[in-house]
Structure 1
Amino acid sequence: MAREQRLAEIFMEVADSLTDDFDVLDLLQRLSTRCVELLDVSAAGILLADPLGKLRVVAASDEHTRLLELFVLQHDQGPCVDCYHSGTARTNIDLTSPSAAASWPSFATRARETGYVTTHAIPLRLRNRTIGALNLFQKTHHRLGESDIALAKALAGVATITILQQRTLEQSYIERTQLQTALDSRILVEQVKGILAERWGTSTDGAFTAFRSYARQHHLRLTDFATSIISGAFDTSTIAAPAPES
């Protein structure tokens, strides 16, 4: 399938999801996986700024611990932090270069240890306000061309509109509430991943996949579903557990 056709389908998918009561967390999760699909990168994540201006991950293309740690590291340092504060994209960053090691020593070292050698940070920006960043990782030194970067910016724009739900940034109270809701929802999901992974003896990535699949099959909002599991109101034995890992 041509990338242009796939992109059109994804934009329609997002548009159809923007109802009055859409699941922002699930939509951002889908967008992060679509970034990997369309841009041929190894991993993607969406980070939002909390009320104190610190970046926190709300969605990732996979739930591997080492990848999530790279996003968490950018709470303090990394291309996404620079991108968020400047409001401009940082692309085709060579994480093996001396300049990367000097700018972000902990981040660059951890990224290389995880197998990533190139990264990109695209601001989530609408007009003159930046609310977070889209982070892309590659395991090769292949550079993203101008058309790929333009597409990454378009997907970041979709994520921004999704988060704000077509409301103006002048409504600052509503904006802060929406961002905090997304961040709080992510905390609940992290707790459920740990609960299910321990219960099933599997990875957190496998636990998340089973959790999210059940929610989508039964039309459950991820946040509400996570809350019911944490409170003990939902019997997790009804979820098809992933196969034990060797």
Structure 2
Amino acid sequence: MDERLLLRTFVELADNLVADFDLIDFLRLLTDRCVGMLGVTAAGVLLADPQGDLRVMAASDERVRLLELFQLQNDEGPCLECFRTGVPVTVPDLAMHTDRWPRFAAEARHSGYTAVQAFPMRLRDEVVGALNLFRTDVGDFDGVDTQIAQALADVATISLLQQRSADRSDVLNEQLQAALTSRVLIEQAKGKLAERHGLDMEQAFTALRSYARSHNRRLADLAQAFVDGTESLTDLGTDPQTTSVRPSRHPHPA
């Protein structure tokens, strides 16, 4: 494990009291760092919206995002159980839990995932979501990595709750509602970019994110501009930050 990257990650997750806090980018950082440091294949984050319904707010790739959506649509799976009980769920081999979550286990294995861990994003009695890790191989999860994953979930939760108390009590709900709207815009922009440049959805997201960061733009604002047509996708495709993304052989339609 890269200890310097781990320390930097904790600092980045804790340093969120800024005026232009971007919830989606914050949670995507969490999922990306989990994949980069913890020996897992993919990661996702589910957060409860102001009505208490879980939403997929971040995923390290498109495949796991779709699996998280499947879990919500079918109302079963380890990540939902983790959120509802407030305790971690560890599944070293999904094949051993087909009775517990029959539809989720089948879909996860069909998607290539054979082991799952889910960690509650909670502070004392308040659970706001779940951090979910997926592997493509069976076997026990590393004990140290498990402790680090829960610590990352805890720090991220504290940061989210700090957002609520920074100005007024409803700020987290406003952030979540804005993030849900932004998520729709980002998906639309990804689809448009993927169709225009022959990218898959994950490559399209990487291109958008790289462009936003290199131009000091909020990802949601950039997506809005693309969807509205006030910024050209052609301009995005010619930017040095995005031309390094190789086109997919099987581009996804918008």
Task: Answer yes or no: same fold by TM over 0.5.
Answer: yes
Superposed structure 1 runs of 4+ greater than 6 Å apart: none
* Counterpart position of 1:245: 248
Q: Where does 1:171-190 land on structure 2 (aligned, <5 Å)?
A: 173-190=170-187
- Tell me the equivalent position of 1:130: 127
- What amino acid maps onto 1:7 in structure 2? L
**Aligned residue in 1 for 2:36:** 37
TM-score by length of 2: 0.87
Cα pair 2:92 2:139 within 8 Å, conserved: no
CA 1:206/1:238 → structure 2, altered by over 3 Å: closer, same or farther? same
**Which residues in structure 2 correspond to 1:97-136 (within 5 Å)?**
97=96, 100-136=97-133
Match of 2:51, as an amino acid? L
Pairwise CA distance, 1:201? 2.2
Q: Is structure 2 residue 197 aligned with structure 1 residue 194?
A: no
The aligned counterpart of 2:139 is: 142
**Secondary structure class of the residue paired with 1:103:** coil
**Which letter does structure 2 place at the counterpart of 1:102?**
D
Deviations 1:13-63 (A, max 9, x none): 33445422222211211110100111110000111112333322111112x
Rate the CA distance shift 1:19–1:173 in 2: closer, same or farther, 3 A. closer
Query: Quick one: which amino acid aligns to residue 140 of structure 1?
Result: D
* 1:119-165 Cα distance to aligned partner (Å, 9 max, x none): 01101111211111001001111322332211111111122233334
Partner of 1:20: 19
Structure 1 residues 226, 162: CA separation in 2 closer, same or farther (over 3 Å shift)?
farther
Deviates more, 1:88-97 or 1:75-84: 88-97
Q: Secondary structure at the match of 2:170?
A: helix
CA contact (8 A) 2:92 2:138 kept: no
Query: Bigger shift: 102-111 or 142-151?
Result: 142-151
1:166 Cα offset (Å): 4.5
Residue 228 of structure 1 is matched in structure 2 by: 225
- Structure 1 residues 218 and 187: CA distance shift in structure 2, 3 A: same
Larger displacement relative to structure 2 (50-59 or 225-234): 50-59
Compute the displacement of 1:5 (Å). 2.8
Over 3 Å counting, the alpha-carbon distance change for 1:121 and 1:55 in structure 2 is same
What per-residue deviation string (whole Å, max 9, x for no partner) do you get for residues 179-227 of structure 1?
Answer: 2222222121111111111122221111111111100100100111111
Q: d(CA) in 2 for partners of 1:125 and 1:112?
A: 28
Contiguous gaps of at least 5 residues in structure 2: 238-242, 250-254
Match of 1:95 in 2: 94
Aligned equivalent of 2:49: 50
- Alpha-carbon deviations, 1:88-143, whole Å to 9, x = none? 1101342111xx21121111101101111100110111121111100100111132
Gaps of 5+ in 1: none
Conserved in 2, the CA contact under 8 Å of 1:189 and 1:223?
yes
- The count of residues paired between Structure 1 and Structure 2 equals 240
Whether 1:163 and 2:160 are equivalent positions in the alignment is: yes
Name 2:240's counterpart in structure 1: none
What is the Cα-based RMSD across aligned positions, in Å?
1.9
Preserved CA contact (<8 Å) 1:55 1:74 = no
**For structure 1, which segment, 12-21 or 149-158, has the greater mean C-alpha deviation from structure 2 after superposition?**
12-21
- Deviations, residues 61-106 of structure 1 (Å, cap 9, x unaligned): 12x2x32221102212111111111111101342111xx2112111
Instruction: Specify the code of the residue in structure 1 equivalent to 2:140.
Output: R
